[in-house]
Amino acid sequence: MKEITVQEVKKSLENSKKLNLIDVREVAEIQEGHISGIINIPLGLLEFRLHELNKNTPYIMICRSGGRSGQATEFLSYHGYDATNMVGGMLAWEDKSK
């Protein structure tokens, strides 16, 4: 499974790089805080919304801690999509000590 760190994602965004971020948390979790510009597809709906994704587009998968996004990354990769898991998820994103 491909992985990317929170620091790598932040640096790319700071450099105005276009990233395709998919947050697989539930809607209520998203409302508590999220990265600007994400697409929200809850993990339980991912298989039903595959038609919205392009196999030629790289996606970075995000969740609270990296577990659900890891599952989503494996699922998408299995189906031929270019998916990368953001290690540590939003907990690492919001950790002020990093």
> So what's the pLDDT on residue 55?
97
> So what's the pLDDT on residue 96?
56
Catalytic residue (choose from 35, 63, 86, 90): 63
Q: Does residue 56 have an active-site annotation?
A: no
What is the residue type of 14? E
Cβ neighbours for 76, distance < 8 A, ≥ 6 positions apart:
46, 53, 59, 61, 83
Class of CATH domain 2-94: alpha beta
Across the chain, the runs of DSSP E, i.e. the strands, are 2-4, 21-23, 39-40, 58-62, 82-86
C-alpha–C-alpha distance, residues 6 and 86, integer Å: 6
Q: Where are the domains of the chain?
A: 2-94
Q: What is the pLDDT of residues 45-78, one digit of tens each?
A: 999 999 999 999 999 999 999 999 999 999 999 9
- Is the model's pLDDT at 98 over the cut of 50? no
| Beta pairing class for 2-4 and 21-23 | unpaired
> So what's the pLDDT on residue 10?
96
